[in-house]
Amino acid sequence: MAAADEAPSASTIAAVAGKVTVVTGGTSGLGRGIVELFARAGSRVVFGARRTELGERLASSLRGDGHDVTFVPTDVRRTADCAALISAAVDRHGRLDVLINNAGTEGSPPIQPSHLATEEHWDDILDTNLKGAFFCCRSALGVMAEQHSGVVLNIASINAIEGPARMAAYSASKAGLVQLSRTLAVEYVLEGVRVNAVLIGGVATEQADRTKAAIVEYVTGEPADDTAPKRPNPLVYQPVEAARVLALLCADDAQLNGATIAVDHAMSAGSMASTMIYMTSAGIWQKPY
C-alpha cells in the first residue's frame, strides 16, 4: 500500500504541475488524497469542504511544506458556495485548469429500504452528489471555455451501474453524474474542455467504513466489530492510489472525453460477481440480504 506522503511519480508531476486545480470534499478520504497528491506534484490547489477546521488545518500543513494550497469553506448544496469556490480559484490564480467534483454523501443511514426513505434523505444525497457537481461545473465551464482548455472529473461510483439494494438515492445520484458528464462533454468539446466520469469503487475512506458497518448490522442484526483485526484486501485502494489515476486523466495529452472510467479493481467488470459465483458453486455463500 502506498503511503499518503510518498513522493509523487514523474508521470503525476508531468500531468498536474503548475495547473490550477479545484477539489470539492477535500478534507477526508479520496478528496484529501487528491488534495495532498496534487499539491505535492506542484499543482496549485484550491479545495472546499464543509468542515472548516479540518480544511484550514490541512491547507496550513501543506503550505508549511511549501505547497500552494487554499481552503474555501464550501457546502456544495448551496449554489452560492459553488460559485464562490470557483471564483476564489480564478481570483487567486487567474485561470482554472482542473475541477474535480468529489464531494459526496451516502446519506444517513447509508442503507435503508426505499419505502422508508424520506424526502430529506433523498434531497440531501441528490443535492450533494448531483446538484452540487452541476453548479460547480456551471461556474467552472464558462472560465474553461474562455481559456479554450480545462478538465472536469466527476467522481461517480460503481453504484452508478451496479445499483445495490437499499441505496436508491445514492445510486441514482451517481448514475445521474455519469450522464451529466457525458452531456457536458458533448456540449463543450468544441471549447477545448474535457469532461469525464470516474467510477470509484473500493477506496479506503471513512464513508466506506460507515457503509460497510451499516451493511454488516443490517445483514447480521449485530453492530460491526470495530476491534476485529483488518486483513489486507486486494480490492481496496488507498486514497492516494486512486488519486494517481485521476492525476493522469488530467494530463494535456490524455485526450479522454465523455468517458466513464472505472477505478475499482475490476469490480464493475465482474470481480465481485465472480467471487459470488465461485462461493455459491462451492456451497459456502449465504444470501446477503
- Asked if residue 26 lies in contact with residue 55, where contact means CB atoms within 8 angstroms, the answer is yes
* Active-site pick, 170, 188, 218, 237: 170
Catalytic, 237? Answer no
Distance between CA 263 and CA 238 in Å, rounded?
12
Distance between CA 172 and CA 163 in Å, rounded?
8
Distance between CA 232 and CA 116 in Å, rounded?
35
Helix 206-220 × helix 29-40 angle, to 10° = 160
Task: Please give the sequence-ordered ranges of beta strands (E in DSSP) within the chain, or none if there are none.
Answer: 20-24, 44-49, 69-73, 98-101, 150-157, 193-200, 260-263
How many degrees, rounded to 5, is the angle at CA 135 between CA 21 and CA 199? 65
All 3 cell numbers of residue 15? Answer: 500531468
Report the C-alpha dihedral over residues 253, 259, 265, 271, rounded to 10 degrees.
-150
Q: Is 195 exposed, middle or buried (0-12, 13-18, 19+ CB in 10 A)?
A: buried
Burial 16-28 (b: 16+ CB within 10 A, else e): beebbbbbbbbbb
Tell me if the bond preceding 113 is cis, omega within 30° of 0: no
Distance between CA 172 and CA 159 in Å, rounded?
8
* Active site members: 170
